[in-house]
Structure 1
Amino acid sequence: MLKIRLLTIVMLALVRVSAQDYKAEYEEIKAATKIRLWFHESDNFVWASGLNAAQTRPCVRAAEKAFSIWKEVSGTATWREMWGRTKCLVLVGKNKSQYRKLLRWYEKKHDPYPGFIQAATPNNYFPNQNKRVAFFMHARPLDIKTLPYVAAHEVGHLCVWRFRWNQYFVPPWLEEGMGLYLEARTFNRTRCYCFGGSYGDASGSSEKLFDIAWSKWKETVRQMVRKRSDKQMKTILRLRHNQIGGPEAGKSWSVIDFMIKKDKKAFTRFMRQLKSYWPQKGGPSPAFTPEKQKAQERALKDGFDWTFDQLDAEWRAWAKKGMKKIE
């Protein structure tokens, strides 16, 4: 496995994209959209922003910090292991009009999948994991101060999607939980609410958790545990995006936090096995199937030697004790 990983890195290095190529891409975007854009190449991302440098740099720092946390958690050595031959492209609009223009350029250039533009346009931020890896966001209706949180959150989505280059949907609890986890690790609070705001929060609770310190998140989750009002993981792993509200999202990131604190290597093994077992027949689909439940159960068994009932019991015991570092 190590030899394959090293060979992959070497092969990708041979087709390395230069700074001039990124600059040429930027010029192409600027010409196609007629938007005055700020260009920047950071360590792991390439930026084309309708906001100015001072407004965009906090987003750059947030995305880079979130990715560094992911590398530490997952053992990822370089961005090439995650993004492929080109750094992740981040397209930032000043408003919804610019956002739509950037989306249209991307679809015409890269043709990611049928229905991409219909899926992305209604949202305020949107990640895309295949072909040219990218995410999109704009400064309306949210204020500019929220965008760095969005950037860290979207990095979380892309990381769980792109890990091991499996382009199929992952369980929504893991996708949203990792977004919140990296956002909270980056800022010690969360402001991005796409677990409810972008998909439609069936529980109606997302607004209360839009801007919240991580310490308050933890206390909220601890109270759920004490009252036994949290859903079991066997229930959460079946939920679609629009069924994940604040309580489900809170438990999801907390379970991820627990698994990582318990054993990072076991968590990475769980992720790797999940990608291996995830059903691919019939193409990508967000719909729950029994095969997807079985894939998660097998991966958890391989990673931690637990059932989901055992995970719930271990997590609840940890949460009751204050969610502290596990020695």
Structure 2
Amino acid sequence: MGCGVASLASPLYPNGCLSSTNNQNDGRSGLEDPNNAFKPPTVDDVPGFKWRLVIAYDGTHYAGSFFFFFFINSWQFQTSPPTIQCIVEKALIRATKLERKDLHFVGASRTDTGVHAWGQVAHFVTPFNYDGLESIHAALNGLLPSDIRVREISPAVPEFHARFSAKSKIYHYKIYNDAIMDPFQRHYAYHSLYKLNTSVIREAAKHYVGKYDFSAFVNASRNDRVPNPVKTIYRFDVIEMGALLQLEVEGSGFLYRQVRNMVALLLQIGKEAIPPDIVPKILETRDRKELAKYALSAPPHGLCLVSIKYNEKHLRLPAGCPTTSFGRNHTVSKCKLPFY
């Protein structure tokens, strides 16, 4: 696969390691607030090279995807029912011929059962460098099922961390608003039989924008850690595309099922069952039971993690590294079949 043996000096990491005692935390002010007691892990004195993955998947048949329980050893690893993380890690183990513990595999975010992604991000470490990334890229996609694809592989600087270098996430939630559901949208959009008033949905969505305590919009998580409930929503756009209604939300971070709970309330508002000004009133209560009086979580299959924005300094490519791989095209120089 064009990999070289790691040495004590390399063009990617002059000291041959991912030593970053004072840089690994540079990005932690992105998705998690500084006063959050949960601290990012470090990979001090781990010899090797760091690589960034951008992954897309159809979450229809998977029991969730990326979990970041660092105290359990990076993400949660379970084989039944299958998770995206488990399948991607298995492919990496086969492609790199490394043990799981040596990969130091970390994902940017968690998505629930049935939720999709176009721009999930992860990173891993190898003790060797690659001359080029096209071969390992092709090998990974060859090992993965067709509903999971690695879109990009690129080298990463030691400071880059898939989770803690992030500045914001963008999610889309799709609603198909027509009497008859488009069968080609059934796995990727929620079908609303009720004719929704998009004007009041837009009005209500504006109330989410800003820095708030979103305790009223979080479900109890199976995670042992207690996240900071204060998040910043930078935008919440409502876009109409014929019968398809796309809700686009960008925030500094999101609590467990926060987006689905926000959408669920907007659906009730769109049906004109409750007024738009209910949003700030529920936010002020900081009580999940208050939201439950009006709406339950929206179904997962309409939700997609579209992209994650990062600290630009952490996205720079190390000097002397192989170029980013976006996949390899195959061409036919001439027709090899005889003419009849």
Richer in helix (by share): 1
TM-score norm. by structure 1 comes to: 0.28
- Relative CO higher for 1 or 2, CA cutoff 8 Å, sep ≥ 6? 2
| Structure whose residues are more often strand by fraction | 2
